[in-house]
Structure 1
Amino acid sequence: MRSTTTRRTVTAGLIGGAILALAIPTMASAHVSVSPDELIAGDHGVLTFSFAHGCENSPTTSLKVSMPEGLASVAPTADSDWTIDIEKGDDGLVSAVTYTAVTPVPNELRGAVSMAVGLDEDAPASLAFPVIQTCVDGSTEWTQLADDGEDPHSLDAPAPVVEVAAASADGHGEHDSAEDAEDADSAGADAADDEAPSNAVGTALGAGGLVAGLAALVVSVLAYRRAA
Structure 2
Amino acid sequence: MSSFLSSAGRQPAGRSRPVAAGVLTGILAGTALALAAPLAAVAHVGVTPSSTAAGSTTQLTFAVGHGCEGSATTGLTFTIPEEIVSVTPTVHPNWTAEKVLVDLAQPITDAHGNSLVQRVGQVVYTANTPLEDGFRDTVTLQLTLPADANGSTLAFPVLQTCEVGETDWNQVADEGQDPHDLDHPAPAVDVTAAVVDHAAPVVGAELSASAASGRTTVAEPDLVARGLGLAGLVAGVAAILFVLFFRRPAARVAAPSKGSDS
| 1:81 matches 2:107 | no
| 1:129 matches 2:142 | no
Aligned-pair distance for 1:154? 1.6
Aligned AA (1:35) = T
Aligned-pair distance for 1:79? 1.5
- The structure in which a higher percent of residues are helix is 1
After superposition, the C-alpha distances for 1:33-84 in whole angstroms (9 at most, x for unaligned) are 1112752211111111111111101111100000002224201111221111
Count of residues paired in the alignment? 166
- Distance across 2 between alignment mates of 1:22 and 1:107: 17
| 1:105 matches 2:118 | no
Unaligned runs of 5+ in 1: 1-6, 173-228
Aligned AA (2:131) = V
Match of 2:141 in 1: 115
Larger Rg: 2
Match of 1:65 in 2: 78
Write out aligned runs for 1:9-24 (5 A): none
- Distance across 2 between alignment mates of 1:110 and 1:168: 33
Aligned AA (1:60) = T
Match of 1:40 in 2: 53
| 1:158 matches 2:185 | yes
Q: Is the 8 A contact 1:37 1:161 kept in 2?
A: no
Q: Is the 8 A contact 1:129 1:159 kept in 2?
A: yes
| 1:50 matches 2:63 | yes
SS at match of 2:186: coil
Instruction: Select between 28-37 and 131-140 the one with higher mean Cα deviation.
Output: 28-37
Q: Is the 8 A contact 2:95 2:127 kept in 1?
A: yes
After superposition, the C-alpha distances for 1:8-33 in whole angstroms (9 at most, x for unaligned) are xx8xx879778656655433321001
Q: Is the 8 A contact 1:66 1:95 kept in 2?
A: yes
SS at match of 1:70: coil
Unaligned runs of 5+ in 2: 1-17, 105-117, 200-262
- Counterparts in 2 of 1:150 and 1:83: CA distance versus 1, 3 Å: same
- Percent of aligned positions that are identical: 46
Structure-1-length-normalised TM-score: 0.63
Match of 2:172 in 1: 145
